[in-house]
Structures are given as C-alpha cells and as structure tokens.
Amino acid sequence: MGARVSHFAHRRGAALLRFDNLTLGYNRHPAVHHLQGEIVSGSLLAIVGPNGAGKSTLLKAIAGELRPLQGSIDRGGLDRRQIAYLTQQATLDQTFPIVVHDFVAMGLWREIGAFLGLGRERRRRVHEAIERVGLHGLEKRPIGALSGGQLQRALFARVMLQDAPLVLLDEPYGAIDAASVRDLATLVRLWHDEGRTVIAVLHDLAHVRQEYPETLLLARELVARGETASVLTAANLQRARQLAEGHGDGTEAAICRVDRDAA
Amino acid sequence: MNDFLSSLPLFSPFVEFAFMRRALAGCLALSLGATPIGVFLMLRRMSLAGDAMSHAILPGAAIGYLVAGLSLPAMTLGGLVAGLAVALLAGGVARNTVIKEDTSLATFYLLSLSAGVLIISLRGSSVDLLHVLFGSVLALDDPALLLLGAFASLSIVALALGLRLFVLEACDPSFLARISRLSPLAHYGFMVLLVLNLVAGFHALGTLMAVGIMILPAAAARLWVCNVGPLLLLASGTAFAGSLAGLLLSYHADLPAGPAIVLTLGATYLLSLAVGPLGPLASRWRSSWHFER
C-alpha cells in the first residue's frame, strides 16, 4: 500500500486546501464565519470545538457537499471522488443483505467502477484491509450482524481501499470502545505516515493531544489554529465556549469578528 | 412419453393445453425479469412505490385501448409513456420541492389512476376494465409472449450490467453519490426498468397484480437468505415455482388464474414467515434455544 501513495507524498508541505473568507451555513443562516487559511498536504489535523461550532459543516464543505454562502475553498485540483469522507451518521442501511467482504470492496469503486471485476490482486487487498481493521474471519458475515465498533472498523477498511489523498473523518469514535479506538487510531497514524492528509472532527481532547500534531479550534469562527499544545489551552477553550454560547442566544449571531474588525 | 406425462395431474394441463404452456412461459419471463426488480424495490424500501407505479401506467394503457382497442402495441406504448412520465414528474417534484418522495408519487399516481378509469369508462365495459386491472394470463398470444420475453431479456441484461450500481444505490446511496457520477442513472435507470416490467406484468396479471410477482417472492426469499446474489436467485425461483403451483391450482380447482398465482405467492410468503430462518418464529425459537444452552 505504501508504494501506491508515493504520488501524493511528494507534495507534502504544499497547500492542499485553501480557505478564503469561507462562510458556511444552511438556509442563509451562517454556521461558520469568514474562515481564512490553508491546510498543507500531509497534515494530520484535528478539528475541535463545542457543539454547534460548525465542525461537521466545515468538513462537509471540504468534501464538496455544501456550497459556501460566501468566500471559497480551493481544493487544488483535487476531485471530489478523490476524497474519502466518513460521515457521522452513515446513511448506510444496516439491514441491507450484504456481507462484510462485499461491503468493504466497495471502497475500490474508483478503480473498478460499476463494471470491472475484482480480480485476484484486488481481492487480496480487500482481505488485507479487513485484516488490518481486525475483522479477519468475519468476511462472510452480513453487516447487519456487526456491532457498532465492528461496523466502524468495516467503514475504516472501506476508506482504506479508497486510497484517497485526503481523508475526512467526522467523529469517527462516537460510540465505540477503547480497544477499537486504539486500533483505528493506529490506522489513522499509518495513513499520515503514507503522506495522506487526514482531517478529523473529534471530541476527546486527550486523544487529540496524544495523536494529532495540529489542531483547529472552531466556534463558528476560528478561535485558534496550529500546534495542538498551543491551541488547546484553557484560555482558548474558554473563549470557544463563550463564543458558542454567545452565538447561541442570537445576540451576537449577526456580527462576526471580521465585520467587527472592519467597523 | 406424452401419454405418461398426461397421466400426471402436475403435467397434464401443460401437455394438453397450449394456453397453459403459454401462461407458464409468460410467468417464467416475469419471474426472471420482474422479480429481481421486486427484490430491489424491497431493498430500497419502495415496495409501495411499485404498487403506486403499477396504477400510474393505467391511463396510458387506457388511451392506447381507446385509440386502438385491445391492441398490444398501443396499450404497451401508452403504459410505458404514462409510467415514465409519472416516475419523472414524481422524482422531479420530490427533488425540487418540500413535497417528499412518497407524497409526490401518491399525488401523481392518484391523478393517473382516476384518469385511467375515466378513460376506460368513456368506451368499453366493466369487462374491459377487469381485463386491464386483472390481466389475462390464460389468453397470452404470440405477440404478448414475445413482448414479455423481450422485456424480461432487456431487464436481465440491464440488471446484470448495473448490478453493482443498483446494490450500492440501495445499500449506501450517499456513498455512491460521493464516489460516482452514475448515481442519478442508478435511480432513473431503475425506475425505467420498473415501468418496463410493470407494463409487461400488466399484460399477464393486470395492473393490480403485476406487483404481486415482484414483491411477494422477494419478501419470501428475504426470510431465508442474507446476501443479495442468492436473494435474487431464490426470489426468481420462488416466483416461478409459485406461478406454476398457482396455474395448476387454477386449473384443477377452476379458479381465476391471476389471483390464484398471486395468492400462491402470498402463501409462500406466509409459510416463509412461519418457518424461514429469518422469520419471527424462527428467531424466537433460536434465541430460546440459545439461552437454554
């Protein structure tokens, strides 16, 4: 797997995503205000912030599934299909009669499309991915018979096969046990080592401090961004909470920092 | 050989009567073409949409009938046009307004159905209406049989080509939308196949029961297997076996053939509920067994 990803490893350090005055929201109600900055290729970035801070909204916009209300995201020519995006609530129908092997193999869609066969080499990669996430022996099990943690592992295996230069994870450890978190975090580290850019929305700050070199703290606007230790300070977190609450009661909702600065 | 077969109650009707053989061939075509579509209707939680669509083809068939009488090409063409129009209109309204998919489909099929009944009543009798609603599996002529065979062949080829697309569209639609441009094709392509098979089914079983040979075998098979491939095969097999049994039942007990077939398929479903390994009774039995161990 390492050999195949070298083609995007060489771009490490160059800007992969550029936000310019990015404002996002639904039905004209902004949820993220005037975001400015860039994310370099090969980053391992955590997005943290209080509930309603716009973290998932930002991820959705990066994935190209939400048009900005204002400003823009430059994906540097990265196609939407080259982004592996694991959403918080999988839209997946878990009662669907499909076994783990076939489900995971869907990650190969970009290579085989709707018509090509799997072939022996890709079959081997499917098995490898299943083994990597610790689901070995469950290939023939229907996805409906998996536990929450096992399903999340299967979803990670599918992401792995997507072989994407940019991986977006929205609260990937929501309802799973510590052992699963540990295994899946190892996989995320591996993706990082392979030169992929990984951006994850996370709640567990201890986990972020331990695993993520960079953090973006969001509270409907950018609070802080940079090395994790310098971002996750008590002062910054306090400020993020205040901002979120301030926005929450509606009094400050219409005024953004950029607007205030301009005034 | 023929004498021997004619002496068996299971075979004699088919050996002796061409119309029984035609009916059986028609059912085979529907089992191979329409039933797999029914499996996907079920997997996409659109079983009732199939029912709605079957009513939607009525005005088209009725206009064909009004123009050309009981003419196969006219009624087929009319049915296809009306079905596709309703599928497109309903899909378009659902995607672009606050009206949701189910309501959108309901509005158009109700319009369609009432228009259809109205048109038929302008000319013709309640006998004609019965023919359209309940079909005439025992009166399939060569052109009708060819039509059924052609639609089934088309449907099988399309399904084989698009199988992965249809599976993913049913299993994880937003993942498909993310990784492939073909996602709209999966939806509308499926609706076209649905209309095609409903029109085929309506010649044999009528608009009311064409959905029966789609949904009932699919639901019955789902209680036995939990993987798409085997599910498709088992559903088609069940559909054909059920049609065969239904035809025999109708012959020996002198019952109308269409309802006999659909009722037999329904009985298969009820039986599967009772003894299928994924049915409610089996799971109860299994879990009590689990706790005793």
DSSP B1-20: -HHHHHTSTTTHHHHH-HHH
- Between residues B8 and A64, which one has the greater pLDDT? A64
User: Which residues of chain B fall short of a pLDDT of 50?
Assistant: 290-293
pLDDT at B43: 94
Q: Least CB-CB distance to B171: which of A81, A92, A110?
A: A92
pLDDT at B184: 84
Any bridge partners for residue B200, and if so which? none
Q: Does the pLDDT of residue A3 top 60, yes or no? A: no
Please judge whether B161 and A115 are an interchain contact, meaning their C-beta atoms are less than 8 angstroms apart.
Answer: yes
**Which residues of chain A neighbour B162 with C-beta distances below 8 Å?**
114
pLDDT at B127: 64
Domain map (residue ranges) of chain A: 1-78+166-178+196-263, 90-164
Q: Is the ipTM value over 0.85, yes or no? A: no
**Tokens of residue B140, six digits:** 């399939």
Q: Least CB-CB distance to B227: which of A63, A65, A99?
A: A99
The arithmetic mean of pLDDT across residues A1-16, rounded, is: 56
Q: Does domain A1-78+166-178+196-263 have CATH number 3.40.50.300?
A: yes
pLDDT at A9: 47
Residue among A89, A98, A104 with most chain B CBs within 10 A, to mutate = A98
pLDDT at B137: 81
**Which residues of chain B neighbour A96 with C-beta distances below 8 Å?**
43, 170-172
**Which residues of chain A neighbour B225 with C-beta distances below 8 Å?**
97
The pTM (predicted TM-score) of the whole model is: 0.85
**Which residues of chain B neighbour A114 with C-beta distances below 8 Å?**
161-162, 164-165, 180, 182
- Average pLDDT across chain A, whole number: 86
pLDDT at B1: 56
Please judge whether A93 and B175 are an interchain contact, meaning their C-beta atoms are less than 8 angstroms apart.
Answer: no
Q: Does the pLDDT of residue A257 top 70, yes or no? A: no
- Which residue on chain A is closest to B43 by alpha carbon? A96
Which residue, among B80, B221, B246, B270, has the nearest Cα to A97 in the 3D structure? B221
pLDDT at B288: 55
The arithmetic mean of pLDDT across residues A183-194, rounded, is: 94
Please judge whether B180 and A81 are an interchain contact, meaning their C-beta atoms are less than 8 angstroms apart.
Answer: yes
Distance, CA of B158 to CA of B191 (rounded, Å): 12
**Tokens of residue B271, six digits:** 């039986």
B2-292 fold:
ABC transporter involved in vitamin B12 uptake, BtuC (1.10.3470)
Domain map (residue ranges) of chain B: 2-292
Nearest C-alpha of chain A: how many angstroms from B281?
A: 18
Q: Least CB-CB distance to A97: which of B161, B180, B228?
A: B228
- Between residues A119 and A28, which one has the greater pLDDT? A119
Q: Does the pLDDT of residue A261 top 70, yes or no? A: no
With a pLDDT cut of 70, the percent of chain A lying above it is 88
**Which residues of chain B neighbour A110 with C-beta distances below 8 Å?**
179
pLDDT at A8: 54
Nearest C-alpha of chain A: how many angstroms from B221?
A: 11
- Which residue on chain A is closest to B172 by alpha carbon? A92
**Which residues of chain B neighbour A63 with C-beta distances below 8 Å?**
178
pLDDT at A140: 93
